[in-house]
Structure 1
Amino acid sequence: MSKSDSFVDEKSIRSVGGAEAAVPAYTIDPEAEKRLLRKLDWRLLPLATAIICLNFIDRAAIGNAKIAGLERDLGMAGYDFNIALTVFYVFFVVSEVPSNLLLKRFGTTILAITVIGFGLCTLGSAFVTSYDGLMVTRVFLGISEGGTLPGLTYVLARYYRKKEFILRLSVFFGVGPSLAGAFGGLLASGLLKVGDFGTIKSWRKIFFIEGLLTIVVGIACLYLLPADPRTTKMLNEEERALALARIDAESVVKNQGKKEKATWKLVWRAFNFNTIICSLVYLLLNISFQGLLLFMPTVIAGLGKFTVVMSQLRTVPPFLTAAVWGLIFCYLGLRLRKHAVVMLATMPLVVIGYAISIGTTNADARYAACFLVIAGAIPTGPIVYAWGVGNSAPDTVRAVTTGIIPGIGAIGSIIAVWTYLPFDAPNYRTGNTLNLATSSTIIVVIIVGMVYIIWENAKRERGERNYRLENKSDEEIEQLGYLHPQFRYTL
């Protein structure tokens, strides 16, 4: 490679030896950066989207199985179904932060193992013969799925600049669940029409095929998921240097490509006001949305006299619409670099949707409300997540933050599974009223977060946080991250 073709100006590279690179200067060739960005997009985004899509498909498969006879065949009654959903989310919550710390310590092999793990749990659900057996699979499904989203987010955040990150996050986290909702309904309806596989009949076919697909992707992840930017074989030596330079260039304090040591002090520092605001929004969003997501086939089945297959198929259009809508709003977030402003534009759709569901019993109007709720909620998730992760630093704080937000948010999912209860069918007025309240509260919390960021950034502009640099060693200054006086929160 000629000097003119170098990814990073040769003078800016102090050492690039073997598999690791340390980059103290940041003269970056824009054309080389574009080529690297294209390579990252083609290598990372399809795989991340597939993983998240399967993650949500496997999680929501129980909703498709429910209307195909799961409860009848396993002798379930009353609140048994809600309890099974709750158990999943309890173990989902407790596994998220530990999973990300393991990922930081041992690399992306941990992430590939979790994908294989939730594939095996889904596959195993096809063979359960009792409610107790179903509960066991839900426990291990929660443990294995918990680290998927924060793990993928952490991996991608180490390769993309802040301004690039929100759109990439929206692709795999915004579009992924939408495609999962659409594809899951199509797949379930198709599987219910095909012949049985020996003892694998009816709803068991849904778990069997979806679990098998996930295991195949998980095995591929062992070879395809990239390691740390300093050592990944996905990039050549020059590309690794550029990848490190891109991310380090955005840091207030440059760490020269060195690997940061995780400490408990940095772990606890992740629990800051901005992260709590984002976590609260995520929690309320999960209450507002996850219940509808899990009970969508049941809710739609109650809107008319549909066959099981037709109920599954009618779940597809709202999710496909949300996929397009989500990309549009996340792109706006990228262009405007105003996460909060974009969320204030999406959340009213959710509020209006639930208001319609409460205010009328007309089946067509309530089906239209599903479109509004899903279209408003889908982009809000990745945007608030990107807001929290983008405002976290250094690396250990970012790794923990990627687990905290969905971890606390998943508590909302536990609440959500109790919003659509049997006694409230088919209109589910109580659940929709709660969701109207939580989605309205989200708007208030976002405004509080905006006010805090404007206030805190103003104090830093006036030099009122400069005392944090006093009597600090170079290492302590490197670890200040978002506390550094020159760090600015993004709205």
Structure 2
Amino acid sequence: MRILNKFARAPPPTATDCVDNEERSPALDLEKSDAHDELPCSQTQQRQVAPAIERRVIRKLDLRVVPLVTALYVLAFLDRSNIGNARIAGMTKDLKLAGNGYQWLLTIFYIAYIIFEWQALMWKVVPPHVWLAFTVLGWGIIATSQAATQTWSGEMTLRFLLGIFEAGFGPGIPYLLSFFYLRHELGVRIAIFLSAAPLATSFSGALAYGITSGHSHLANWRLLFLVEGLPTICMAPIAYFFLPDAPDQAHFLTKEDKVVAKARGVRQVGGTKRVGGIVWKEVGLALLDLKCWFTALMYFSCNVGFSSLPVFLPTILKDMGFNSIHSQGLTAPPFFLSFLVTIFSTWFADKTQQRGYTIMVLTTIGGIGYILLATVKTVGVRYFGTFLAASGIFPSIANILPWVLNNQGSDSRRGAGIMLLNLIGQCGPLLGTNVFPTNKGPRYIKGMAISAAFTFFTGVLALGLRCLLVHENNKLDQKYGSNEGRVVNQPSAEGQESEEGEENYSPTFRYIL
């Protein structure tokens, strides 16, 4: 009522006034200069029109932003992991790989990926459409150039450069999506983006099967790098022209839509305005936040299996007794199932607001899969184990990423959380890509056992973080009163800050478990 009285003498209501009164803040009038161009609505229609307008905005973002970044991640993951397919298609012989030469080709990528993790913050410094086009063009050129390499040292150089450019893309996309979506909307969108990883791996196996089963004048592995690298270069101009820098700047939104989009952005950060650039004080606070370290360690543990499974699965299947061609094709079904589980599990976690329990179930499934691969000799059972491992490890990653974004309030804190998550988490592949040496085949017991242990450890960390969040929510209840029946996924109606600046949002904020 206080807010209604405040605006009692305002001009006829616009789209901004159609926002549910429980979610209004003074920030909703940031676009009053465009008020005369908006579709008016009566006071009695406010609760009916506002959700419809907001759903329309979300639908437009879903149709333009999410498919673009997902398609690019498909290409990124293809260009990153197709070296596993190239290995059994003749690259080992042509480049004279010996000893741990192949493992170093995998490791050097992640060394560059870790060193350049700070680029996640560039999405807040450089206009996103410019940064996206730059990174896409860069890794596309490098990925395609692998078709021309003649030596192991040349391939090492290209893999290092590929890691630099992909570090500027993948780790920052969940952070970018947090500019467009609210906390309770973010998980499933990140999942759609990340589900491109198992989908790309599935597609990579089928594509590699088609390419390597032919007889071209160019070596099959070189043709593989060429066919999968050129589309990335072609996507760079599309990325430049089609990605909006912010929801309220999207060319596909009407003026009315942009008002609602800007109001949503303010609600997401929990203040009266969305601050441009990086606030370094908040970056420091996020780096000292124990919750960020929990998710970073979870990401590390999960990445041990996440990084190794796609690049070693063709070899594992080949060592089970399948020939090279069939090994390429048989990688597709486990990863396609993982794609479906990724989408469902994140949707479920968004609906129930229970990411901790979801991750615990997924890591249990994945760990059992690795145990089967390590202990069973029967080919059919071991192949079934690959389904369990893929269905546990990929969806777990997709639920860890939105968890760190869910529980940090400002853009700067979310950016720092993502940066720390990747800085620590991407060290996992350094271990994961070096626990499957050739001389340990065909069962790779050591590598499977290590992957199983870290997968289970991820579930233990998820339990620990959930207990910490329950404790902190109880402290907030004691300080501000019970939050039962109040909106907990958004700031308070007036966008007020917490009294001591300790929490991310207002007194109505509670952490997502």
Report the TM-score when normalising by structure 1.
0.90
Within 5 A, what are the aligned runs for 1:185-334?
Answer: 185-196=205-216, 200-251=218-269, 253-256=270-273, 258-271=274-287, 272-304=289-321, 306-334=322-350
Letter in 2 for 1:239: D
Equivalent pairs: percent with the same residue? Answer: 28
Is 1:349 the equivalent of 2:370?
no
C-alpha distance in structure 2 between counterparts of 1:71 and 1:477, whole Å: 62
Q: CA deviation at 1:394?
A: 0.9
In 2, Cα distance between equivalents of 1:460 and 1:485: 8
> Is 2:498 the partner of 1:488?
no
Deviation, 1:144, is 0.4
The answer on 1:151 being equivalent to 2:172 is yes
> Which AA in structure 2 matches 1:490?
I
> Do the aligned partners of 2:117 and 2:423 also contact (CA within 8 Å) in 1?
yes
The question of 1:6 aligning with 2:15 is answered yes
Letter in 1 for 2:261: A
Output the CA distance in 2 between the equivalents of 1:244 and 1:286: 36
1:394 matched to which residue of 2?
Answer: 410
Deviations 1:432-491 (A, max 9, x none): 1111211121121111101110111111211199xxxxxxxx999797662765532110
Per-residue CA deviations over 1:292-339 (Å, capped at 9, x if unaligned) read 2211111111111x3322110010110111111222212211211111
Instruction: Kindly provide the amino acid, as one letter, of the partner of residue 249 in structure 1.
Output: R
Does 260-269 or 362-371 show the bigger shift? Answer: 260-269
Matched position secondary structure for 1:77: coil
The answer to whether the aligner puts 1:134 opposite 2:155 as a matched pair is yes
Q: Is the 8 A contact 2:76 2:166 kept in 1?
A: yes
- Alpha carbons of structure 1 residues 139 and 126: separation in structure 2 relative to 1, 3 Å: same
Match of 1:184 among 204, 217, 232: 204
Question: Which residue identity lines up with residue 163 of structure 1 in the other structure?
Answer: H
CA 1:363–1:71 in 2, change beyond 3 Å: closer, same or farther?
same
Deviations 1:22-54 (Å, cap 9, x if unpaired)?
A: xxxx98800111111111111112112111111
Instruction: For 1:231, give the aligned amino acid.
Output: Q
| Counterpart residue number, 1:22 | none
SS of equivalent residue, structure 1 residue 488: coil
Q: Distance in 2 between matches of 1:432 and 1:479?
A: 45
Counterpart mapping for 1:111-126 below 5 A: 111-126=132-147
1:91-113: CA deviation from partner (whole Å, max 9, x where unpaired):
1012122x122221111111221
CA–CA distance in structure 2, aligned partners of residues 476 and 368 of structure 1 = 51
Which residue does 2:441 correspond to in 1? 425
Instruction: After TM superposition, list the pairs within 5 Å mapping 1:342-491 onto structure 2.
Output: 342-463=358-479, 482=504, 486-491=508-513
Asked whether the equivalents of residues 49 and 172 of structure 1 are also in contact (C-alpha less than 8 Å), the reply is yes
The CA distance in 2 between the partners of 1:264 and 1:254, in whole Å, is: 17
Moved more, 273-282 or 100-109: 100-109
Check whether the contact 1:354–1:432 (CA below 8 A) recurs between aligned residues: yes
1:69 touches 1:202 (CA, 8 Å); kept in 2? yes
Say if 2:110 is the partner of 1:89: yes
CA distance in structure 2 between the aligned counterparts of 1:407 and 1:54, rounded to whole angstroms: 23
| Per-residue deviation, residues 142-186 of structure 1 (Å, max 9, x unmatched) | 00001222322122111111111111111111x201111111111
* CA drift at 1:263: 3.1
Against the structure 1 CA distance between its residues 442 and 9, is the aligned structure 2 distance closer, same or farther, given a 3 Å change threshold?
A: same
1:266: Cα distance to partner?
1.9
Alpha-carbon distance in structure 1 between the residues aligned to 2:347 and 2:252: 27
Q: What's 2:74 paired with?
A: 53
Whole-angstrom CA distance in 2 between matches of 1:127 and 1:232: 40
CA contact (8 A) 1:157 1:165 kept: yes
Question: For 1:401 and 1:393, how far apart are their aligned partners in 2?
Answer: 10
**Mean Cα displacement is larger for which, 147-156 or 164-173?**
147-156
Shift of 1:281: 0.7
Cα 1:288–1:397 change in 2 (3 A) is: same
Q: Could you tell me how far apart the structure 1 residues matched to 2:222 and 2:499 are?
A: 56
Q: Does 1:78 align with 2:99?
A: yes
Query: Does the residue aligned with 2:89 lie in a helix, a strand or coil?
Result: coil
Superimposed CA distance per residue, residues 218-240 of structure 1 (whole angstroms, 9 cap, x where no aligned partner): 22101111112343334233222
Indicate conservation of the 8 Å contact 1:255/1:478, yes or no. no
**Cα deviation per residue 1:383-438 (whole Å; 9 max; x = unaligned)?**
11101111112111112222321332110011101111111111000111111211
Q: 1:162 to 1:202 in 2, by over 3 A?
A: same
Are 1:340 and 2:356 matched, yes or no? Answer: yes
2:299 and 2:425 in contact (8 A); partners too: yes
Residue segments in structure 1 that go unaligned for 5+ positions in a row: 19-25, 466-473
Q: Distance in 1 between matches of 2:144 and 2:268?
A: 43
Give, in whole Å, the separation in 1 of the partners of 2:154 and 2:459.
41
Q: Take 2:255 and 2:146, find their aligned partners in 1: how far apart are those partners?
A: 45
Whole-angstrom distance in 2 between the partners of 1:236 and 1:481: 35
2:57 to 36, 48, 63: 36
Distance 1:464 1:440, change over 3 A: same
The RMSD of aligned alpha carbons is: 2.5
1:75 partner amino acid: K
Distance 1:104 1:423, change over 3 A: same
The farther-off stretch of 397-406 and 70-79 is 397-406
Q: TM-score, normalised by structure 2?
A: 0.86
- Check whether the contact 2:497–2:506 (CA below 8 A) recurs between aligned residues: no
**Mean Cα deviation higher: 351-360 or 123-132:** 351-360
**Structure-2 change in CA distance of 1:289 and 1:475 (3 Å):** closer
- The change in CA–CA distance for 1:5 and 1:182 in structure 2 (over 3 A counts) is farther
Distance 1:57 1:39 in 2: 28
Amino acid at match of 1:442: T
Supply the AA of the counterpart residue of 2:225.
F
- Secondary structure of 2:244's match? coil
Amino acid at match of 1:487: F
- Number of the residue aligned with 1:165: 186
- 1:311 match: secondary structure: helix
Q: Find the aligned partners of 1:71 and 1:314 in 2 and give their Cα distance.
A: 21
Alignment-mate amino acid for residue 51 of structure 1: L
Give the partner amino acid of 2:511. Y
CA distance in 2, matches of 1:478, 1:259: 19
- Unpaired runs of at least 5, structure 2: 1-11, 20-25, 35-45, 482-495
